[in-house]
Amino acid sequence: MLNLIRKDMILQKKTLPFMLLFLFVYLFVNVSTSWVAIVFCIVIIMNAFQTDETSSANLLLNSLPYTRKEIVSSKYIGALIFIFLTLLTIFIGNWMIHREIMQWEILLFITSIVMGLTSFAFPFSYLFNSKYLLIGFGGVFVVYMVTLSFIPNLNDRVRELVQTVLSLDNSLFYLGIILSVGLLYVLSWILSIRIYSRKVF
């Protein structure tokens, strides 16, 4: 399975450094680091997923001495590695540029959102196709833009809500988030294995 994870890293060797460099540049401009990190994580993770999505790639993977459980598991472990690399880039970049150490609450927030989105994206993509997921995200974006026309200060409300959550000083609350997201990720992992095990190529 380590070879499968390494394969994803090798396939991303051109894209990943460019994306991380682009992310580093974003730290110079006045853009929300959290949202940029979330978008970058999702793009990198789903880009790695799409490389194995063609029928020929799946046939090749299934002809190799790997179980379907290992193939799926490599994607979930790889996603965690991509999240770590993105957060490490942000952490180092933020320290070098702004001389600030990012709060662990923000890192936890980014990780939780990305793991949560991935928990829904992977089973959906295994069941259908990631291109439909892109269409779905496009639809959500259109709905969000239409909603902005009715609620102009929606972005400010979302930002205030996030700041309120991040300002909570409750260890049990954060522990609950970690356990909930971790459980969701594991359940998604199991579901994806079952879906992929039943697919016919």
Burial 128-152 (b: 16+ CB within 10 A, else e): eebeebeeeeeeeeeeeeeeeeeee
12-52 pLDDT tens trace: 776 767 766 776 676 666 566 777 788 888 888 888 787 76
Q: Is this prediction's pTM over 0.75?
A: yes
pLDDT of residue 135 exceeding 80, the answer is: no
What pLDDT is recorded for position 106?
Answer: 82
* pLDDT, greater one: 145 or 110: 110
Using alpha carbons, select from 125, 25, 44 the residue that is nearest to residue 84.
44
